[in-house]
Chains A and B, each alone.
Chain A
Amino acid sequence: MSSTHTVPLKIYFGVFIALCVLTGVTVWTAKHDYGALNTPVALAIAGLKASLVILFFMHVKYSSKLTQLFAFAGFFWLVLLLVFTLQDFMTRGMLPTYVFKH
């Protein structure tokens, strides 16, 4: 138990303010059109916010390597799911055997 790391209060409040600001930023950027970059920008901001929550609110920054690995594994497998599903939908009709129409 002695190994428990207490995160200073100012970090909690700092993260909180950062999350609020980033929420504002994501709304603000959404009102502008960056073409193909719209979604990547939105996801990057969301990813940053999520990282702040994971690292500080969920203490992963101060946790064991094992916990960090577990936290990473869930998202890694989510990426596997997304990438390998989308590699089908994104490449429909690229090769001439099958034509996908909406």
Chain B
Amino acid sequence: MSSTVLSPSAKASPSSPEGERKTFLNADYGWKSWLFTVDHKRIAVLYLISIMVFFLIGGTFALLMRAELLTAKGDLFEAETYNKLFTMHGVVMIFFFLVPSIPAVLGNFLVPIMVGTKDLAFPKINLLSWYIYIVGGAATLFVAITGGIDTGWTFYAPYSSTYANTNVAGTAVAVFITGFSSILTGLNFIVTIHKMRAPGMTWFRMPLFLWAQYATSLIMVLGTPVLAITIVLLGLERVFHIGIFDPALGGDPVLFQHLFWFYSHPAVYIMILPGMGVISEIIACFSKKRMFGYHFIAFSSLAIAIFGFVVWGHHMFVSGQSAYASFVFSFLTMLVAIPSAVKVFNWTATLYKGQVSLETPMLYALGFIGLFTIGGLTGVFLAVMGLDRHVHDTYFVVAHFHYVMVGGMVMAFMGGMHFWWSKMFGRKYPEWIAQFSSVVVFVGFNFTFFPQFLLGYMGMPRRYHQYNAEFEVLNVLSSAGASILGTGFLMTICYFIWSLKWGQVAERNPWGAKGLEWERAPSPPPTFNFEDGERIVVTEDAYAYTHEEPHGGSLQEARK
């Protein structure tokens, strides 16, 4: 590993005397310099800390649920408590971990560096988005502490609007607020990618991570407002009982589902596209090869973002939606498999005859490809109306979306964090432990969620705290897997924190990777990302790995 790259611009100060060089981390000290920062990298760190808090909270809810499901009898929690657990798990993990995870942490950190500029287009708005996130998060925690909510993260009317006795209004406010943080992040990325690219950084020289972030941002900007207004209507219905989702007053609860999924299905792509971007970076770097089918991968991100908006009805096959609409949504859903598969095939083709090395980020990336493929293909099963009737609201669905969300996005997030950790903090994590724990995570994940496919196919419904005795063996497997998975995550968090102080000091480009963040920015970068006065001019395509001569910088020199 860690081949030293003689990149043309690696001249200045990778390892000047310890701690002397000003980086974004030591540019300023004190809590004010963090809480009032407008530096995108510091905001990324703020986001990292906050989403990890929510990840641990959401993970705790999950472990409590798995503890309950260890036995067929409902012996640990009341049914009502269990309902709150799965609802809070969903709300916290989706709105406060998965949606902001890669965009707000890695995206915030990397987008300006990758486009070759000093900061995002609207730095203050970027900070504002973090504060909005924190306010929304605090509101959610307040709800969790003061009794929770039991509607499921989908807040389906009329249960949520009329019947639930838990704090629906509080959670609705929290999610409403957090939505704005997502919108502002997306808006910032869109403008930055359009207007702030360095000279020479054309659209088709952009790293695929940026394409993925751009596509994600489009969804954030186009979808989130609809969620906001849906929540407003839900709140009005719940507080004033205006009848808009109440059948007794002429309203139609299915309308709620339409409006809700108009955002929330594309939001599923918010929760996977950025991960795909990360995987593209990792695969290229650890195969030391140009990306196979760069244009296809780039456009498939946009295709997923756009097609993703017209498939939402596949969540509603059993809701009373018209059969015609179900047919259309089913058909369009299957089309989304095409751009997703395009990505998988191109990653695989990139590996072919590459100089593949298996450091931790690559292990996560390879895990991603396998798990996402399983998650994606079972999604095609679910798009088939007949099969969906059978497995709707069973553990098959739970397993499917966890293969995409955890097996996909969380794996990508972990891979990305390992990949860019040294760039963010200037220290390396311990490679052997990391490789080991990535295997632990992979094994734990499959033990947790593969049995759930079987359970669902056998007919075990989701969202119950007790079940028939015949499901017990597989549930024990799943709970055991969850404990392994949790251990893997905790190990990772521990050695990451350890490495901040004791990790080996990282050079500028430990992976020998291509890209502005590796070749032109020190680790960690200074406040304005590049060396003082250095004007970034891009002269080569992304992933210009020279296949025969991975250590050389001569080809791109020659091209100038």
Chain A residues within an 8 Å CB radius of B324: 87-88, 91, 94-95
A16 to chain B, nearest CB (A): 30
* Residue from B255, B258, B259, B312 with most neighbouring chain A CB atoms (10 Å): B258
Say yes or no: is B321 at the interface (Cβ < 8 Å to chain A). yes
Chain B residues within an 8 Å CB radius of A88: 254, 258, 313, 316, 321-322, 324-325
> A62-98 interface mask toward B, CB cutoff 8 Å, 1 = contact, 0 = none?
0000100000011001001100110111111111011
A95 & B222 in contact (Cβ 8 Å cutoff): no
A92 & B194 in contact (Cβ 8 Å cutoff): no
B312 & A95 in contact (Cβ 8 Å cutoff): no
B313 & A93 in contact (Cβ 8 Å cutoff): no
Category for how many chain B residues contact A: 20 to 34
Chain B residues within an 8 Å CB radius of A100: 320, 322
B389 to chain A, nearest CB (A): 11
Chain A residues within an 8 Å CB radius of B309: 77, 80
B215 to chain A, nearest CB (A): 13
A70 to chain B, nearest CB (A): 9
Category for how many chain A residues contact B: 20 to 34
Q: How far is the CA of A92 from the CA of B313 in the complex (A)?
A: 14
8 Å CB interface, A18-54 against B: none
Chain A residues within an 8 Å CB radius of B325: 84, 87-88, 91
B233 to chain A, nearest CB (A): 14
Q: How far is the CA of A15 from the CA of B490 in the complex (A)?
A: 64
B226 & A98 in contact (Cβ 8 Å cutoff): no
Q: How far is the CA of A94 from the CA of B322 in the complex (A)?
A: 8
Say yes or no: is B138 at the interface (Cβ < 8 Å to chain A). no
Which of A66, A74, A89, A102 is the one whose CB lies under 8 Å from B194?
A66
A–B complex contacts, Cβ < 8 Å, 24 sampled: A66-B194, A73-B222, A74-B222, A77-B222, A80-B309, A80-B310, A84-B262, A84-B312, A85-B258, A85-B259, A87-B322, A87-B325, A88-B316, A88-B324, A88-B325, A89-B322, A91-B323, A91-B324, A94-B322, A95-B322, A95-B323, A97-B323, A98-B323, A102-B250
15 extra A-B contacts, CB within 8 A, seeds A81-B226, A84-B313, A87-B322: A81-B262, A84-B328, A85-B255, A88-B313, A88-B316, A89-B252, A90-B322, A91-B322, A92-B322, A93-B322, A94-B322, A94-B323, A94-B324, A95-B324, A98-B323
